[in-house]
Structure 1
């Protein structure tokens, strides 16, 4: 069997990593705690430092040029042969292969491209020994600058916090487009500008802050001019997400407690929830989380081609699925998390199975189940290494709704200006008062 399964308890012992374990960071382990070694089959390579600099000819105006552009797929998984690879596929992948004739998985040679700035490696080594998970798992304390508070995650909650805290340049300013796709392939674009300031980029940030976010919608006309402001806490059981919304019709800024959990994601036509954005976001508090272990899986990875500014959205969107010839899949080790809705808690999903990349801690795939326990939606995130961020980012994502027979694509940037990472923001920019000024 190609798939290898690892119990997390085999990495370190005890409820927290011993001090000696941190001495292994950057040696036999990556600076964020993953094994540098590849697997015996050679399908997962050793980590050799990741991408250290952009390839020659890189220009953000053209997208992220691929260092692997000449590679061909090793093999292609279809509805006729998926049984050979079933151990490395999710339930969502198998359902997509069975249901849609044009859905296929082109598997390429694997490359562990993830790398972070040197300052992040230093922050992880310095601060991670002090990280302490809260009693209920919904938050943690002990780090301020590190984007990986738990290099040796012992629980699903620790993996979760590594995921929501992962490095994305300190700040970013991105214009992206998403759209629900009808059965015939027609779609109406929803355009938004996201401006994010992470607490790691703030001197003396509020104690429980993860990030500030300002989102401006510019299309379609039905939502153009709407603004959303978010103050995202680390531990939302102590302090809930604070959100405000500006509606151009009323010209008022109001608190928006509905922006979170399973409320519909703006512009998705009800095909995605607020906590579907970015693969998964927000508070974990409504689910019981279990860390199943670490497993080798086939996931979207190194999707440089999906960022090509020469592509139009009509090149990407198909009648039933996105253009799978543009999506690159590789074999990587992932943390497998299972989330089950707590008794008495409210959410449209009763269960989630989440794959989180062992290197970047970015979500790679989520299978979402309805209240009857049946597979409802399969969510893929197209990972790409962003040279100007020095981080693994998303080239876009897609959520397939098996009940509606439609899907939603989000966060594509092919027809938009390049994202800006490391832009200087003052915390005062992310206030309701400034939101009013921006609206005017």
Structure 2
């Protein structure tokens, strides 16, 4: 497929070099908060009027009850699709469809994109914006683009990215929240025969220390990037298992450490394989660990080339998927792909990054193409290729904003296996359950909650 890129136009207009690693100059910094948002997105809408200007976070709908923070009614429930894209008319929109989306339209006659009006719902607190402006002046990359250098703070590290690695670091240091939790997340596999199988049910907690409100210190090169904890409640074979993940800012020398508690053995053990192309723990055989949320983990196995910024259709503001009155659990799952009636697509600008495997490195995906939303770097898609150069799997996030506060849920994702015809939806909240809730700095779990020693407490089933 021929992609209509804007790499030369956009990067040339900004006076940028794809290989540059230094912080921004004064003229570039002056654009942040002017014709660019503070985080580097184009402030204005597009010429066609199909992408609006950024005007601020979405307002909660009238039926939102602040006493029920885990329930977020759809603020766009009254909107109808403007049009649908199918295999019959996909050629009209080819420049705005990823290669993987086009492949799915060709392969699955029942697949379609219902395209809704675009709403730019990014929401950043003031301290994250302030830190982003600091980063523009002082944050850099070193050691083959695998480590932070200079002074980097809890914000977007590279608001005007100059190479693919800077875009990927923007994703790695994404802002969702300082801390959040989900009492009932689920992963569901729909196999090639259309059978719906629960592959995981769990409680989940995550904390990002560098986004602690009130923090003034820059990110230390050896500090913890994030803590994550999973307590499995189902299916029966996994109930009682626990997992903690420590991701370090230093990807070269420290990287990720993970520990698992196995109730059958009543012991905690180091789990070094929870990374890279190890099969996803709740994927049911579909997807890799680093395919979590499209990309999750160290960047050391790939070279990342920035191809430019372009307009593309991506899933966005997917409240409908979590609203039982609009799309019940029985409706969501159809063979080969999720029910198109339940998935909202919008037109947004994305950064396109080509990842190619480094010489001497191994991964089941030798090539990957990432599409990251310009407003929220953890929202996007990926086309993952096999050794023969065919699209093997297509991964997408299902994003919605925390409109009762700042921040975003970029956690939920779906992986389509085009070789088998199956797919898996991971880390989502069932339509009849409570969505992910934000945890204040005062309520967030301390670091000891994420330590291996905490896993065995109460872990016997």
Q: Normalising by the residue count of structure 2, what TM-score does the alignment of the two structures yield?
A: 0.90
How much does 1:13 deviate?
Answer: 3.3
Contact 2:97 2:313 in 1 (8 A): yes
What is the distance in 1 between the residues matched to 2:399 and 2:142?
30
Q: Deviations over 1:8-66 (max 9, x none)?
A: 52324353310342233222221211120111111111111232x42222145674322
Name structure 1 gaps, 5 residues minimum: none
**In terms of mean alpha carbon deviation, does 191-200 or 143-152 score higher?**
143-152
Alignment partner of 1:58 is 2:60: no
Deviations 1:295-315 (A, max 9, x none): 111111111211215444222
2:195 aligns with one of 186, 193, 201 = 186
Q: Tell me if structure 1 keeps the 8 A contact 2:379–2:410.
A: no
TM-score by length of 1: 0.94
Aligned counterpart, 1:29: 36
* Residue aligning to 2:416: 400
Aligned to 2:6: 5
Match runs of 1:287-436 below 5 Å: 287-310=302-325, 311-394=327-410, 396-413=412-429, 414-422=431-439, 423-436=443-456
1:219 corresponds to which of 225, 234, 249: 234
Instruction: Give the alignment's Cα RMSD to 1 decimal.
Output: 2.1
CA distance in 2: counterparts of 1:251 and 1:236, whole angstroms: 31
Moved more, 234-243 or 365-374: 234-243
- In the alignment, the residues of structure 2 paired with residue 396 and residue 57 of structure 1 have an alpha-carbon distance, to the nearest angstrom, of 24
Check 1:34–1:61 CA distance in 2 against 1; reply closer, same or farther (3 A cut).
Answer: closer
Q: Give 1:145 shift.
A: 4.1
CA distance in 2 between partners of 1:77 and 1:2 (Å): 18
Task: Tell me if structure 2 keeps the 8 A contact 1:377–1:400.
Answer: yes
Residues 382 and 396, structure 2, Cα contact 8 Å, conserved in 1: yes
Q: Tell me: CA distance 1:151–1:160, structure 2 relative to 1, closer, same or farther (3 Å).
A: same
The residue aligned with 1:106 is 114
Q: What's the offset of the Cα at 1:322? A: 0.5
Which of 90, 103, 116 in structure 2 is aligned with 1:95? 103
> Can you list the C-alpha shifts for 1:248-267, whole angstroms capped at 9, x where unaligned?
11111111100000001112
Q: Residues 194 and 422 of structure 2 are in contact (CA less than 8 Å); yes or no, is this contact kept in structure 1?
A: no
Give the count of matched residue pairs. 439
- Structure 2: distance between partners of 1:126 and 1:342: 32
Using the alignment, how far apart are the partners of 2:425 and 2:52 within structure 1? 30
| SS of aligned partner of 2:457 | helix
Per-residue CA deviations over 1:140-193 (Å, capped at 9, x if unaligned) read 134554230111110111111111111111001123111111233322221122
Paired position in structure 1 for 2:294? 279
**For the residues of structure 2 that align with 1:34 and 1:353, how far apart are their CA atoms?**
20
1:345-383 deviation digits (Å, cap 9, x = unpaired): 111111101100000112311111111211101112122
Q: Which ranges of structure 2 fall in alignment gaps of 5 or more residues?
A: none
Structure 1 stretch displaced more, 357-366 or 13-22: 13-22
Is the alpha carbon distance of 1:2 and 1:179 closer, same or farther for their aligned partners in structure 2, counting shifts above 3 Å?
Answer: closer
Does 2:36 align with 1:19?
no
**Residue 253 of structure 1: aligned partner:** 268
Q: What SS does the aligned partner of 2:455 have? A: helix
* Match of residue 437 from structure 1: 457
